[in-house]
Amino acid sequence: MSFNTEKLIIFSAPSGSGKSTIVNHLLSKTDLPLAFSISATTRSPRDHEKDGIHYYFLNSTNFKEDIAAEKFIEYEEVYPDLFYGTYKSEIKRIWDSKQAVVFDIDVAGGIALKSKFPKESLSVFIQPPSVEELERRLRMRNTDQEEIIQMRVAKAKEELLTASRFDVILKNDDLPTALKEAEDLVSQFLKA
């Protein structure tokens, strides 16, 4: 089966929607030529996260230096002094390896990438069943303090209003169904 790998597959969603679960599932599918775009961030690593595998962990000064050097294809200051961004070199690295780039990225980043690569990208918005379920999932993670959870829920309410700006809205109210739908979407997009 022949795939066009000079493409971008963008998964965006509010925190707690299940986008990382869906992206990790797709990356485990050996029949799909996919590679993960590693984002840069100024947030601290979580216990299981490793620099250069899950994220490029930078301090704020280094991140701002890379902005000034125009190393990012997109970046955002999500909260004060909390930056996330995608290096231009990540897309080149993955395309050079003859794989399509998969993004697990916040909503603003997903919109920015789609605007820069309108024909080469498929943008998918992962929609949670409800804001209440999203908040429950964030609490179950047990990784954030109450103040952060409330900030994420408030931001999620705003982000849900942007779903129509994506090519596809994938509702994640039943995980096995959402995983299968994501596989089908990606496979069809790479064949086109």
Give 17-29 pLDDT, tens digit per residue: 889 999 999 999 9
Give the mean model confidence (pLDDT) for residues 29-41: 95
Give the whole-number percent of the chain exceeding pLDDT 70: 99
Residue 83 domain boundaries: 8-191
Nearest CA to 27 out of 126, 101, 108 is that of: 101
User: Residue 42 domain-assigned?
Assistant: yes
Contact 95, 138 (CB under 8 A): no
CA 132 to chain centre: 22
Residue with tokens 């829920």: 153
User: pTM of the prediction?
Assistant: 0.88
Q: What rounded mean pLDDT belongs to the chain?
A: 92
Q: Which pLDDT belongs to residue 28?
A: 96
User: Residue 74 domain-assigned?
Assistant: yes
Q: Largest Cα–Cα distance in the chain?
A: 49
User: Residue 1 domain-assigned?
Assistant: no
Give 149-176 pLDDT, tens digit per residue: 888 888 889 999 999 999 999 999 899 9
**Number of domains observed in the structure of the chain:** 1
User: Residue 94 domain-assigned?
Assistant: yes
Residue 172's Cβ-count burial label (10 Å; 0-12, 13-18, 19+) is: buried
Domain with 125 in it: what CATH number?
A: 3.40.50.300
User: Residue 3 domain-assigned?
Assistant: no
